[in-house]
Structure 1
Amino acid sequence: MPRTKTQAPQTDAQFHTSDSPVGKICFALIQTNFWVGDIAGNVKKMHALTLDAKNRGADIVIFPALALIGCPPEDLLLRPTLGERVREAMAKLAEIEGIVVILGYPHIDHHGTFNSAAILQGGSQKGFYHKQYLSNYGVFDERRYFQKGRNHVLFDYKGASIGLLICEDIWHDAPITALKNEGADMVVVINASPFEIGKQTARKQLLAKQSQTHQLPIVYVNTVGSQDDIVFDGGSLIVQADGSVAHEGSRFLNQLIMANYDVATQTFDTQSKAPLVLSEESEMYQALVVGLRDYVNRSGFKGVIIGLSGGIDSALTLCIAVDALGSDRVYAVMMPYEYTAQISLEDAEAQAARLNVSYTVCPIHDAVAGLRASLAPLLANSEPDVTEENLQARARGTILMALSNKFGHMVISTGNKSENAVGYATLYGDMVGGFDVLKDIYKTDVYRLANYRNRLEDNPVIPQRVIDRPPSAELRPEQTDQDSLPDYEVLDGILRMYIDEDLGYKAIVAAGFDPQTVERVLSLVDRAEYKRRQAAIGTKITKKSFGRDRRYPLVNGWSIKGDFA
């Protein structure tokens, strides 16, 4: 059934147990999420989904990459009992009769550990394929765990020769070229491809190029859901040999996609209705909803607590939390101090009422006064400065964490990527929390998403004046963010080039930004690394998020001044 360069193919008759018409193959693409580490639960889920696909007439059911253990499994791959658990799980899945199962799993033998695809049928594992191109950039760290595969694998079914690839393999020419040369009629690619802005367009362009170049249909199955700070957006695809899309899965949703392949014409049928095309704002917002929902639910928290300030960041965070978890699991706390504007109190209360969430006002005057009294003997000879401002933020952080401890709700912090980048946040203050929804969202995109969410309903969920007001931390009289930072359009322009595109001082200045502003912003980014390392995780949205994507030493002698010459 399976074959490599050194194995002769078996005949179709040895592997044909389907009742579907001769010359037709019915594929079932399973676009769903599997919980990392829950091998027993994942097996149970795959078993049920396989039987469902079989009952719908499928000949071959395909699951995403590493579906058996979930993705990314990280150092669970190093656990000494993993090999035994995988073997037991694969034996159970192989028991399903009357359908071929292709799934991703970690293959462990005396040669090492591999990121693999298994072919199961009729009570046993008929073959396997090991991923050849190991992803080792951005959020990927596969060379830490996996050995490189070297053989090309095809299997014959009902007159079609089907090649197997995994994730990164399809982004390179050599694997699909080898399959074509070996006589493949189509290629199945199993994936755990994370979301970032514009990723689906890039996938379509890639598959169109590869299918046209090699004149092969491609079946591309992707997972969906989130794990920690990574979101998988689905969007599974079947592409004809001419590069046209025959089937496309919905984004961010579980889905069973049924598709029929004609062996004679080597073409797939086409879906009757394509999924909704998402705008950039829509896909960003949905990714944030999925990321928060799955993290909170799998962490076992009853709900979430948000410090609602009357500003745009906490307002957008509240909307996302309600959309992810429902209003009955979201708790908003307004913590005013003497610098909190009346308009902030009014807008926070109005939004909480509009979204029907629990809303509490907890003033921090006594808490701040207590801290100042305790510190008075130590600070008596010092002039007031940012220290006193930060006491307010830290008092609020303490209150939120106390409520979390008492009632079992996760604290959601509300800092955005622009603030995190330059350190415009208080460590152990407004940075406290278990998850930061906006961690990878620049401030200019916060405004875009707020306006997007308001457009979805006749009655806006974020008061318009929250969007229109100059942003402020309200830690001193008449304070605005632009007292300390450049205008956000300018700041985000510099940050995108420095962080997302890895460009240096000279290139950013050459793009038209003021040299002194660039020097200041880049210095702020570099000095704030120690804060970011202690911050809560948050959903990855951009090409380069803080955390997995961007890793800098906390203490180092590098200087941006080296770029000045």
Structure 2
Amino acid sequence: MKVYLAQMKPHLGVVEKNIDEMVKFIERAIEDSAELVLFPELCLTGYLLEDLVYDLASSKIPKELLELSKKVSIIFGGVELSNDFYVYNTAYYLENGELKGKHRKVYLPTYGMFDEGRYFKSGDSIKAFDTKFGKIGMLICEDAWHQSSHQILAQDGANYIFVLTSSPARVVRENLEIAHSWDSILKSSAICNSVYVAMCNRVGVEDGCSFWGGSSVFEPSGKQLLKMNYFSEDMKLVDLKVDAVKRARFSSPVARNEKLDLILREFNRINTTSDN
């Protein structure tokens, strides 16, 4: 699968302009024979929305993206308005002109500079789903900091995990502690679950907050296949070969040998006896 990572700079609250920018990335991806385009979290709207979420939330997929998905599959992030009028931070998967899958962000950071829990409703499921490339899974930013999220997707049959992020940096410099933390998380998931893990982060500045980019891809062996620029828009094509998943699972059957019944039993014990 040839995946094009579109490390873009969304415009806060200006959906039509963001769609135009996304179309440019997608058209370039098609020219480069990509099969899937991966965008960042909330690329359709920008991140620090606060009360704007209620104005920008939508139950509709932009028709421009649906049309282009007939030529290349697309993963992107936006603000979803559900049928019962809840608002979610959602990742969408488009294929052959249709919405084929979506993931609602489960873990909403509400600490420090983050205030997502005030505006969004938390998703209540983490599932892999079928695509023309086989089973894949999607996570959104904070979801990926919980290793259980990755494990659930891998045990549900995903060969590829795609992570959409809007990760900020406290300082603007090349040697970023947050970037090292992200690389450690992604590499660990790839190795322990024998999957590809691709993370697309955004760039740009919103209300004085800088987003650092540095999008990356790890293969099941833990090798980093791709590392993109910090603090500037970037676009890169990477080939994810399913044979690498097969080799990893043959040589190190850690994920296959996972004792799910034990995990469920022990977590249930902890959950029923915990005072927290």
Q: What TM-score, normalized to structure 1?
A: 0.41
On the 8 A contact 1:185/1:217 being kept in 2, the answer is yes
Measure, in 1, the Cα distance between the counterparts of 2:193 and 2:96: 32
Matched, 1:186 2:160: yes
On the 8 A contact 1:91/1:124 being kept in 2, the answer is no
**Which of 130, 134, 141 is matched with 1:160 structurally?**
134
Provide Cα deviations, 1:10-60, integer angstroms capped at 9, x if missing partner: xxxxxxxxxxxxxxx100000010101000111111112111101101000
Provide Cα deviations, 1:142-186, integer angstroms capped at 9, x if missing partner: 111111112223233445321111100110022111111111112
On the 8 A contact 1:160/1:263 being kept in 2, the answer is no
Aligned identity (percent) is 29
User: What SS does structure 1 have at the residue aligned with 2:51?
Assistant: helix
Residue 179 of structure 1 aligns with an amino acid whose one-letter code is L
**Which of 40, 51, 56 is matched with 2:16 structurally?**
40
Measure, in 2, the Cα distance between the counterparts of 1:193 and 1:221: 10
User: What SS does structure 1 have at the residue aligned with 2:244?
Assistant: coil
Quote the residue 1:338 is aligned against.
none
Quote the residue 2:236 is aligned against.
257
Q: CA deviation at 1:229?
A: 1.4
Residue 153 of structure 1 aligns with an amino acid whose one-letter code is K
Measure, in 2, the Cα distance between the counterparts of 1:215 and 1:262: 13
Measure, in 2, the Cα distance between the counterparts of 1:194 and 1:51: 28
**Which of 46, 54, 62 is matched with 2:30 structurally?**
54
Equivalenced residues, count: 239
User: What SS does structure 1 have at the residue aligned with 2:89?
Assistant: strand
Q: CA deviation at 1:109?
A: 1.2
Residue 140 of structure 1 aligns with an amino acid whose one-letter code is F
User: What SS does structure 2 have at the residue aligned with 1:151?
Assistant: coil
On the 8 A contact 1:200/1:235 being kept in 2, the answer is yes
Quote the residue 2:122 is aligned against.
148
Q: Detail structure 1 runs of 4+ shifted over 4 Å in the superposition.
A: none
Residue 101 of structure 1 aligns with an amino acid whose one-letter code is I
Measure, in 1, the Cα distance between the counterparts of 2:25 and 2:184: 30
Measure, in 2, the Cα distance between the counterparts of 1:142 and 1:83: 14
Q: CA deviation at 1:201?
A: 1.2
Quote the residue 1:403 is aligned against.
none
Quote the residue 1:241 is aligned against.
220
Structure holding more strand per residue: 2
Measure, in 1, the Cα distance between the counterparts of 2:97 and 2:150: 29
Quote the residue 1:227 is aligned against.
206
Residue 175 of structure 1 aligns with an amino acid whose one-letter code is S
Quote the residue 2:254 is aligned against.
none
Q: CA deviation at 1:107?
A: 0.8
RMSD: 1.6
Quote the residue 2:82 is aligned against.
109
Residue 122 of structure 1 aligns with an amino acid whose one-letter code is N
Matched, 1:169 2:143: yes
Quote the residue 1:306 is aligned against.
none
Measure, in 2, the Cα distance between the counterparts of 1:242 and 1:136: 34
Measure, in 2, the Cα distance between the counterparts of 1:58 and 1:159: 13
Return closer, same or farther for 1:159/1:58 CA change in 2, 3 Å cut-off. Answer: closer
Measure, in 1, the Cα distance between the counterparts of 2:180 and 2:147: 19
Structure holding more helix per residue: 1
Structure 2, unmatched stretches of 5+, are 171-175, 247-276
Matched, 1:75 2:51: yes
Measure, in 1, the Cα distance between the counterparts of 2:57 and 2:200: 25
On the 8 A contact 2:194/2:245 being kept in 1, the answer is no
On the 8 A contact 1:128/1:153 being kept in 2, the answer is no
Quote the residue 2:66 is aligned against.
94
Measure, in 2, the Cα distance between the counterparts of 1:255 and 1:189: 17
Measure, in 1, the Cα distance between the counterparts of 2:147 and 2:182: 15
**Which of 184, 187, 194 is matched with 1:208 structurally?**
187
On the 8 A contact 2:161/2:195 being kept in 1, the answer is yes
Q: CA deviation at 1:238?
A: 0.2
Measure, in 2, the Cα distance between the counterparts of 1:153 and 1:48: 30
Provide Cα deviations, 1:46-100, integer angstroms capped at 9, x if missing partner: 1121111011010000110000001121210123xx345x62x623321112111
Q: CA deviation at 1:245?
A: 1.1
Please show how residues 10-409 of structure 1 align to structure 2 within 5 Å: 25-79=1-55, 82-84=56-58, 87=60, 90-96=62-68, 97-111=70-84, 112-196=86-170, 197-266=176-245
Residue 226 of structure 1 aligns with an amino acid whose one-letter code is V
Measure, in 1, the Cα distance between the counterparts of 2:133 and 2:177: 37
Q: What TM-score, normalized to structure 2?
A: 0.82
Measure, in 2, the Cα distance between the counterparts of 1:78 and 1:223: 22
User: What SS does structure 1 have at the residue aligned with 2:62?
Assistant: helix
Question: For the pair shown, which has the larger CA radius of gyration, 1 or 2?
Answer: 1
Measure, in 1, the Cα distance between the counterparts of 2:149 and 2:216: 19
User: What SS does structure 2 have at the residue aligned with 1:266?
Assistant: helix
On the 8 A contact 1:221/1:236 being kept in 2, the answer is yes
Measure, in 2, the Cα distance between the counterparts of 1:103 and 1:159: 17
Measure, in 1, the Cα distance between the counterparts of 2:133 and 2:94: 18
Measure, in 2, the Cα distance between the counterparts of 1:99 and 1:209: 29
Residue 75 of structure 2 aligns with an amino acid whose one-letter code is I
Return closer, same or farther for 1:83/1:205 CA change in 2, 3 Å cut-off. Answer: closer
Measure, in 2, the Cα distance between the counterparts of 1:167 and 1:116: 11
